[in-house]
Amino acid sequence: MSITVSDVRESILHNLKGRFHTAGIKTYDAFVADLIRETPPGIASTADLILIDVPCTGSGTWGRTPEELYFFNPDKIRRYSGMQQQIVSNLAANLAPGAWLIYSTCSVFKKENEDIAAFLLENFGLEQDKMENIKGYDLQADTMFAARFHR
């Protein structure tokens, strides 16, 4: 099994290196990429599993940062949803037959979650295996969303 990771921010990949070391993961490929604008050649067409943890409003983390709710501009939901659609489009369009795709956010908004899952179903010939809002507030954790698809 091989692991390939990317982010638009070098700092995130640097932090991931430490997390992978702690987890005992020694072999992986990492690169900086803006998946809104580009799809690295071959990534989606050769992967058995793609986990897309997209940029989002972060509304699922507001239990830790309640001040974000006060300063939140609802226009951000539309902006992030557009970015999310572009990222999933760039990867899902080339997803290999038999491969899995997991879409994830730390948002509670339908436009960033269920609506993007519906977009994937409508446009890329995927089958939805599971979709869930993972409530963290009962556990003093963040709330997440995840949907798993199969081609």
Q: Which are the catalytic amino acids?
A: 106
With CA atoms as reference, report the closest residue to 53 among 19, 28, 86, 87.
87
CA distances from 87 to 70, 83, 134 (A): 28, 6, 22
3-state secondary structure of 92: helix
Rounded CA separation 140/20 (Å): 24
| CA diameter of the chain | 44
